[in-house]
Amino acid sequence: MKPYYKTELGELFCGDCLTIMKQFPDNHFDLTVTSPPYTTNLLKEKCKYAGKLLKTNTTNPESIRKRNSDKITKETKIKSNVWDFIVAGTNYGHPAIFPEKLANDHILSWSNENDLVLDCFLGSGTTAIACEKLNRRWVGTEISEKYCEIIKKRNDYK
Ligand SMILES: C[S@@+](CC[C@H](N)C(=O)[O-])C[C@H]1O[C@@H](n2cnc3c(N)ncnc32)[C@H](O)[C@@H]1O
């Protein structure tokens, strides 16, 4: 199986992940970090405000959390199970990228240096970029040749 693109740490395969992944042995990867295409989930539910025009700029003053200025806040705390990330920023020409910090924090939490990380829906290559920076080996698959080119460019300019 010939990679579309390669770095010292990683390999990108351009094609359908279902075909490509079959070619790797069992227990080959240490961690998977991925985000599948959102359009493939066929389970639908009715939107709460379906068809209604929502008003913007309605701020309820009661809901603004009151701060206790007498307490000194701790420098650090354990990250909870719900992680917030800022999603604004460049999208490198891909419509649905996730923030690099999201990939970064998962990779740091769930893998060690030199581990092998899989992203079977690599998109614009965010997981690969985070792996390169954190010294993890990576394998990515991406079905769109247009996005494979973006991954290549993003890696070359990182
Ligand atoms: C939500 S995007 C991933 C975005 C990525 N996390 C990023 O930060 O750029 C999902 C990607 O999966 C790709 N894709 C869809 N079906 C695929 C398949 N069968 N095999 C490989 N890639 C696929 C799409 O082309 C799309 O780029």
The series of mean pLDDT values per 10 residues for the chain, 158 residues long, is 96 97 97 88 76 64 54 78 86 93 96 98 97 98 97 87
Asked whether 124 lines ligand 1 (CB < 6 A), one says yes
Q: Going from the N-terminus, what domains does the chain have, and what CATH number goes with each?
A: 1-36+91-158 (3.40.50.150)
Task: Look up tokens 């240490």; give the residue.
Answer: 30
State the CB neighbour count (10 A cutoff) for residue 140. 30
pLDDT at 54: 67
pLDDT at 70: 62
Asked whether 141 lines ligand 1 (CB < 6 A), one says yes
Shortest-distance atom of ligand 1 to CA 119: 6
Distance CA 35, CA 123 (A): 9
Asked whether 132 lines ligand 1 (CB < 6 A), one says no
pLDDT at 112: 98
Residues 6+ apart with CB under 8 A from 91: 97, 124
CA of 48 to the centre of ligand 1 (A): 28
Burial category of 150 from C-beta neighbours within 10 Å (exposed 0-12, middle 13-18, buried 19 and up): buried
Asked whether 16 lines ligand 1 (CB < 6 A), one says yes
pLDDT at 48: 79
CA of 109 to the centre of ligand 1 (A): 23
Distance CA 130, CA 126 (A): 6
